[in-house]
Amino acid sequence: MYMQPNIVDYPNTFNATYPSRNHEYTKEKVAKMSALIEEKIKHFKAHPTLGIICGSGLGEVTKAVKDPVTIAYKDIPGFPRSTVQGHAGQFVIGYIHDVLVVCMQGRFHFYEGYDIGTCCLPVKLLKLLGCHSLIISNAAGGLNAEFNVGDIMIIHDHINLMGFSGNGPLVGPNDESWGPRFFSMHNAYNPAFIKAAKEQMRKKNMPEHVGVYTALGGPHFETVAELRMLKSQGVDAVGMSTVHEVVMARYLGLHVFSFSLITNKCPTTYDGDKNVNHQEVIDTGREKAHVLVDFVRDLVPVLDSIKD
Ligand SMILES: O=P(O)(O)O[C@@H]1C[C@H](O)[C@@H](CO)O1
Ligand code: HPA
């Protein structure tokens, strides 16, 4: 039988370096961050039940939020800062229909220099705030030839490339009060959420793309050879986030719905001038803001009503 060592039993815990700083984000520390936010939203007399992580350029989803309270990341001691254009670096908390949501306008990426555990700290905070489910969005390059720029792809599974090589958020000492050492990633993307989202897409005459996402470390975009390899392995969309957040969410017992906005096509041939750039990613997000707002606004009450 596997015996979980207590954090204090780890030899040299305080000198050891782990690839992830997750174990440093203790219940006590994250609860302080959560308490600070709770104080600012106490007039709602409820806790948020659904968290929304906005991808690059996708922060306009918060336009769907009524009576918003905005809290800058910099005003929460110990919370990281957003350094990427298109990530405002603030929480927006308020109602979408009758669901109290907490949106993150900005996430943290490995390429910003944050370790993978720090990239996932927000997920722990959303859990302590009372969320039972998350909508995790991202901007991604489309590898599937059927995807057009501006389409939404529902993520039904991922390939954890950074985790393959041991760079996972949960590497290091485990605190069982957050979640178990070992857990399943089977159906990590809640099938009931996917079904509900596909129904929304059908009603709205949107293409019903469902696919596999992977994240690379970035910040550079991919070579043609890398993209060909990913495509041959069944990847439909490529980005630089989300995967590790979903690992953390499942560890914490949160239900996940995730989607990519296809902001560019990934070049798998050498001809032509097909340089992907961040501005294109941001611009597509802005152009499609109305579609995203509409999609998320109608999805929130449906997902919130599905509890398992
Ligand atoms: O935060 P996401 O995953 O939406 O951001 C994507 C990946 C890179 O951070 C950036 C590239 O333009 O967009
Ligand atoms: O083509 C891409 N590759 C990686 N990440 C991305 N984020 C938006 N587009 C892309």
In this structure, are strands 90-96 and 99-105 parallel, antiparallel, or unpaired?
A: antiparallel
Q: What is the pLDDT, as a whole number, of residue 38? A: 98
In this structure, are strands 133-142 and 50-54 parallel, antiparallel, or unpaired?
A: parallel
Pocket lining: 209 vs ligand 1, CB cutoff 6 Å:
no
170 CB-near residues (< 8 Å, 6+ apart): 20, 22, 117, 247, 248, 251
**Is position 133 within any domain?**
yes
Q: Are 101 and 230 in contact (CB under 8 A)?
A: no
| pLDDT in single tens digits along all 308 residues of the chain | 556 555 555 555 555 678 899 999 999 999 999 999 999 999 999 999 999 999 988 899 999 999 999 999 999 999 999 998 888 899 999 999 999 999 999 999 999 999 999 999 999 999 999 999 999 999 999 999 999 999 999 999 999 999 998 999 999 999 999 999 999 999 999 999 999 999 999 999 999 999 999 999 999 999 999 999 999 999 999 999 999 999 999 999 999 999 999 999 999 999 877 789 999 999 999 999 999 999 999 999 999 999 66
Pocket lining: 197 vs ligand 1, CB cutoff 6 Å:
no
Tell me, in angstroms, the distance from the centre of ligand 2 to residue 20's CA: 24
Q: Are 178 and 124 in contact (CB under 8 A)?
A: yes
The crossing angle, in degrees rounded to 10, of helices 121-129 and 243-251 is: 40
Whichever domain contains 180, its CATH number is 3.40.50.1580
Q: Any catalytic annotation for residue 109?
A: yes
Catalytic residue among 139, 140, 188, 215, which? 139
Structural tokens at position 191: 């099938």
C-beta neighbour count of 203 within 10 angstroms: 9
**Is position 15 within any domain?**
no
Radius of gyration of the chain (CA): 19
**Is position 209 within any domain?**
yes
**Is position 152 within any domain?**
yes
Which of 240, 262, 283 for mutating ligand 1's site (highest number of atoms within 8 Å of CB)? 240
Q: Given the structure tokens 């908390």, which residue do they identify?
A: 93
Tell me, in angstroms, the distance from the centre of ligand 2 to residue 298's CA: 26
pTM: 0.95
Tell me, in angstroms, the distance from the centre of ligand 2 to residue 223's CA: 11
Q: What is the pLDDT, as a whole number, of residue 165? A: 87
Range of the domain at 289: 23-305
**Is position 14 within any domain?**
no
Distance between CA atoms of 116 and 135, rounded to whole angstroms?
19
Q: Are 48 and 130 in contact (CB under 8 A)?
A: yes
* Burial annotation 83-95 (CB, 10 A radius, 16+ → b, else e): ebebbbbbbbbbb
Distance between CA atoms of 258 and 276, rounded to whole angstroms?
23
Pocket lining: 141 vs ligand 2, CB cutoff 6 Å:
yes
Pocket lining: 285 vs ligand 1, CB cutoff 6 Å:
no
**Is position 13 within any domain?**
no
Nearest CA to ligand 1 atom 9: 240
**Is position 167 within any domain?**
yes
Half-sphere exposure of 9 (CA within 13 A, CB side): 6
Pocket lining: 34 vs ligand 2, CB cutoff 6 Å:
no
Q: What is the pLDDT, as a whole number, of residue 85? A: 87
Q: What is the pLDDT, as a whole number, of residue 18? A: 83
Please classify residue 13 by burial: count the beta carbons closer than 10 Å to its beta carbon, then call 0-12 exposed, 13-18 middle and 19+ buried. Answer: middle
The crossing angle, in degrees rounded to 10, of helices 121-129 and 27-40 is: 60
Which 3 state secondary structure label does DSSP give 150? coil
Nearest CA to ligand 2 atom 8: 140
Task: State how many domains the chain has.
Answer: 1
Distance between CA atoms of 101 and 66, rounded to whole angstroms?
10
9 CB-near residues (< 8 Å, 6+ apart): none
Structural tokens at position 170: 């949960």
**Is position 192 within any domain?**
yes
